[in-house]
């Protein structure tokens, strides 16, 4: 095991750009070297994501079928029952998932929903799994209630760069996202924050998105890197597909800038070849979502992931094991 890379929060744009744009093989070598300094290169964390409240969201995120403002017309549902969440979590654990993520299509949760959310967290924790929620923006009281119920992680993606943000979302600001992340971190909940690439942004936006995360006071514990899934009737339905090499470069940059962070290969895997996914793992991705859906989007079925893991000699990361030395 090589000496671990130092954790830095003072990266500059010039440094990040130089890393991103170096020859591809040099970039992969650097990313894999950093990865091996901090993780077992042949282990990948498996998480499961459940939509606990779908559709009817007041936000206008251009990529999302759950927005009430977009044209996808996904039917809104109520918050699902606590017992159903725990039952699904139990099945996920039996399938090898160690972290259970629960997502609700909200701008922010209402006080009347908090008791049920707390019960979900406690129920999943009692199964011996790590818990994660993504519920939109949180106020201070909501953060503390979730923390006291045992929530381990809170996901709140920044989506893209600050420069490009208003092209994708107008109902909240980039600063709103950062404020929520800071509030969660200060309360002692681990942060999960990443973004989406392939939304028509420029290369510098992908670099700046990762730079914004890498220069937070503390790096996120997990950084999901999502490839846009174009949803019919949403504003980004016809966006041009991103070059796969650009996607791999983004994964590699995340690994180099945030050495001890779990870099999660998230949405868009159904459209990735096995070879592209393998290249992402080599570039430092070491976490995936399992199951055939991610909220409302398709995801590779578990038997396909199992077959890919077997071909690559990858095993699932044990609960609480980050592979570090």
Active site residues: 57, 61, 64, 101, 132, 192, 264
Q: What angle do CA 61, 216, 260 make, to 5 degrees?
A: 100
Tokens of 177: 């996202």
Strands 130-134 and 153-155: parallel
- Can you tell me which residue has the tokens 């017309």? 73
Rg over CA atoms, the chain: 18
Decide: helix, strand or coil at residue 195: strand
CA separation for the pair 12, 191 (Å, rounded): 22
CA separation for the pair 188, 191 (Å, rounded): 9
Tokens of 46: 């498996």
Tokens of 70: 């977009």
Contact residues for 22 (Cβ-Cβ < 8 A; gap 6+): 30
Backbone angles phi, psi at 72, to 5 degrees: -70, -25
CA separation for the pair 199, 64 (Å, rounded): 11
Q: Yes or no: say if 260 and 38 are a contact pair by the CB < 8 Å rule.
A: yes
Question: Which has the closest alpha carbon to 134: 64, 73, 74, 236?
Answer: 64
Backbone angles phi, psi at 32, to 5 degrees: -70, -35
Q: Yes or no: say if 51 and 103 are a contact pair by the CB < 8 Å rule.
A: yes
Residues belonging to the chain = 325
Contact residues for 36 (Cβ-Cβ < 8 A; gap 6+): 1, 2
Backbone angles phi, psi at 281, to 5 degrees: -65, -40
């Amino acid at each position: 095991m090589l000496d671990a890379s130092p954790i830095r929060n003072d990266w500059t744009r010039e440094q990040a750009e130089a890393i991103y744009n170096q020859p591809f093989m040099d970039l992969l070598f650097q990313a894999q070297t950093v990865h091996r300094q901090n993780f077992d290169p042949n282990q990948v964390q498996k998480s499961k994501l459940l939509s606990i409240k779908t559709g009817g969201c007041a936000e206008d995120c251009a990529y999302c079928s759950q927005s009430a403002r977009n044209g996808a017309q996904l039917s809104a549902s109520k918050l699902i029952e606590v017992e159903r969440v725990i039952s699904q979590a139990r099945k996920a654990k039996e399938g090898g998932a160690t972290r259970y993520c629960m997502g609700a299509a909200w701008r922010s949760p209402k006080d009347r929903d908090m008791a049920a959310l707390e019960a979900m967290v406690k129920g999943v924790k009692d199964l011996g799994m790590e818990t994660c929620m993504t519920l939109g923006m949180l106020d201070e009281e909501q953060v503390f209630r979730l923390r006291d119920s045992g929530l381990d992680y809170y996901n709140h993606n920044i989506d893209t760069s600050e420069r490009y943000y208003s092209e994708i979302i107008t109902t909240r600001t980039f600063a709103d996202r950062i404020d929520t992340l800071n509030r969660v971190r200060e309360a002692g909940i681990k942060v999960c924050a990443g973004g989406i690439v392939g939304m028509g942004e420029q290369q510098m936006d992908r670099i700046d998105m990762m730079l914004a995360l890498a220069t937070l006071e503390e790096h996120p514990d997990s950084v999901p890197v999502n490839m846009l899934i174009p949803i019919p009737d949403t504003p980004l339905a016809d966006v041009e597909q991103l070059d796969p090499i650009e996607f791999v470069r983004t994964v590699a940059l995340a690994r180099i800038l945030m050495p001890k962070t779990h870099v999660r290969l998230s949405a868009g895997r159904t459209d990735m070849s096995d070879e592209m996914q393998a290249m992402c793992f080599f570039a430092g991705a070491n976490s995936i979502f399992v199951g055939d859906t991610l909220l409302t989007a398709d995801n590779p079925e578990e038997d396909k992931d199992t077959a890919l893991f077997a071909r690559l000699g990858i095993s699932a990361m044990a609960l609480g094991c980050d592979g570090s030395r």
